[in-house]
Structure 1
Amino acid sequence: KEAHRAWGPRKIRTLYARVHPGEPTPSDSTFKRILDKAGLVEHRRKRRSSSCGRLENRIPAEHPNDVWTVDFKGWWYTTDGTRCEPLTIRDAYSRFVFCAAALDNAQTPTVRRQFERIFATYGLPRVIRSDNGSPFASTQAPLGLSRLSAWWIALGIDLDRIPPGRPDQNGGHERMHRDIAQEVQGRYDGDLRTWRAALDT
């Protein structure tokens, strides 16, 4: 949209479908809402667009389930050579940790299963805040939408992306990662099952 100011939601939806063939595609109205929130819809007066078309809402968390934060806490190899990808999901207001899961990959289907489980238990948040990395965002798709974030939007969840190189804007989540490193890393040694048990304590 930044590069093609004349493109509307229908055109961008078509492009998204080409980038993600075979995946469910949000409706035209959903793309219109995304463009509007990103400041890329011209009304009577031209609105200032967010830098690079990123979705940066900076919505404060005033109640539980207002804003959830999500990230991966860096990966490492277990003793049996399996890659461990710790996924963490947290409520920004209550600081409740919904998920600290030792996954064997960071692919969309794996991460989506974790969210499906958590949504079924705790309901949906208003906003999910993430960085611009995969699978939360995509550098190849309009507005950085990935299959995972497009699914969130289809569920009615708004997105809030922190600017690149600014992990301090997700400070509470970063502090939680430091706590995990202190409490877990270095104290346990084993396979992926061992790490899953450690993160579940």
Structure 2
Amino acid sequence: MSKLSDRDIRGIIRQWKRGRPVRDLADYHHVSRQRIYQIIAAYRQTGCYPYPQTPGRKPAQIPHETETLVLAAHDQYSLGPTHLEKKIEEVDGMHIPHNTIYRILLEHGRVEVCMKKRKQRKWVRYERDHAMSLWQGDWKMISLDGQNRWLIAFMDDSSRLITCYGVFDRPTTHFTMQILEQGFREYGTPLEILTDNGSQFVSARNPKTADHTFRKFLESHGIRHIRARVNHPQTNGKIERFFGEVERRAHRFGSVDAVVRWHNEIKPHSSLDYDEPAHAFWYRLPPERILGYAQRWMDAQE
């Protein structure tokens, strides 16, 4: 069942006023009819939009006596909330949690905002708006039929589509370029490619400036190479998650090919509004790419 936002609730009230059936409103917003009736009843009673309340318990009201005691102790001892908690318990025999002391001192401007007590920043998803803007790729050792093999894969950052992949006995730059050539033939060349700082992609001596076969390969195709931050695997997190799927499902599905088909065509992805990567790839293409694919298809028919 979906969680309704303030905007959803305003829309429900407006559509209800225009005579839209409750059944249709419930189906459109993926909620029960009872929930729609609750919103309408609350609006009728108050005349205001019944926006969702902030989850969690509301802070308890601090007694005036407690507030007076804390402020007096702070004036006397000039201690922070944690130490003041111990001092008040020792001297006055009264336990006041340091979080409560912090709230009192903060309200009266006695302390500054503690960054650790601030709400955690909402999780932000970093992805490109359009397909073919960026591919991210990497090598991963996996166990197949009791043997350790090396899997190379590249994923479209926007749609999560696995554009090309291969399994080899060892990870090399030659095999990396070979797999990318396959991907280029099928999908064309992306604007940028993101990799880590492995020796298959960059020079071990001087990653920033030294010539490397892979770097020259990308330059010859007009592709910008982006290197992930050192010791920061989250930068390549999407392809790493795909590797985890391969490790969990390759034995069950019987092959890496089957896992890739499942990932691209069957598995709905929450970041794609529960669409499949193979579908999301096409509707996330920029217009100029769509025209290019149409021209390639027409040329292939001739």
Q: How far apart in 2 are the matches of 1:74 and 1:162?
A: 19
- Equivalence for 2:225: 159
Q: How far apart in 2 are the matches of 1:60 and 1:106?
A: 27
Deviation at 1:147, TM superposition (A): 0.7
The DSSP-based 3-state class of the residue aligned with 2:154 is strand
Deviation at 1:197, TM superposition (A): 4.8
Aligned CA RMSD, in angstroms, stands at 2.5
Structure 1, residues 6-40: CA drift from partner, whole Å, max 9, x if none?
Answer: xxxxxxxxxxxxxxxxxxxxxxxxxxxxxxxxxxx
For residues 72-87 of structure 1, the aligned pairs below 5 Å read 72-76=139-143, 78-79=145-146, 83-87=148-152
For residues 2-151 of structure 1, the aligned pairs below 5 Å read 61-76=128-143, 78-79=145-146, 83-141=148-206, 143=209, 145-151=211-217
Deviation at 1:87, TM superposition (A): 0.7
1:70, 1:129 within 8 Å by CA — same for their partners in 2?
yes
CA 1:77 to 1:97, structure 2 compared with 1: closer, same or farther past 3 Å? closer
Q: How far apart in 2 are the matches of 1:166 and 1:60?
A: 17
Deviation at 1:71, TM superposition (A): 0.6
1:90, 1:97 within 8 Å by CA — same for their partners in 2?
yes
Structure 2 runs not aligned, ≥5 long: 1-125, 262-302
The DSSP-based 3-state class of the residue aligned with 2:252 is coil
Deviation at 1:180, TM superposition (A): 1.6
The DSSP-based 3-state class of the residue aligned with 1:101 is strand
Deviation at 1:105, TM superposition (A): 2.2
2:249, 2:259 within 8 Å by CA — same for their partners in 1?
no
Q: How far apart in 2 are the matches of 1:74 and 1:161?
A: 20
What amino acid is the match of 1:96?
L
Higher helix share: 2
TM-score between both structures, scaled by the size of structure 1: 0.58
Q: How far apart in 2 are the matches of 1:117 and 1:153?
A: 17
Higher relative contact order (CA 8 A, sep 6+): 1
Moved more, 116-125 or 103-112: 103-112
1:101, 1:199 within 8 Å by CA — same for their partners in 2?
no
TM-score between both structures, scaled by the size of structure 2: 0.40
- Equivalence for 2:94: none
The DSSP-based 3-state class of the residue aligned with 2:129 is coil
What amino acid is the match of 1:179?
E
1:78, 1:84 within 8 Å by CA — same for their partners in 2?
no
- Equivalence for 1:181: 247
Structure 1, residues 54-111: CA drift from partner, whole Å, max 9, x if none?
Answer: xxxxx962211100000112244754x5x51111110000111112321222122222
How many matched pairs? 135
Q: What percentage of aligned pairs have identical amino acids?
A: 24
- Equivalence for 2:98: none
1:63, 1:93 within 8 Å by CA — same for their partners in 2?
yes
Q: How far apart in 2 are the matches of 1:144 and 1:169?
A: 23
Q: How far apart in 2 are the matches of 1:154 and 1:103?
A: 25
2:128, 2:134 within 8 Å by CA — same for their partners in 1?
yes
What amino acid is the match of 1:168?
Q
What amino acid is the match of 2:186?
T
1:68, 1:129 within 8 Å by CA — same for their partners in 2?
yes
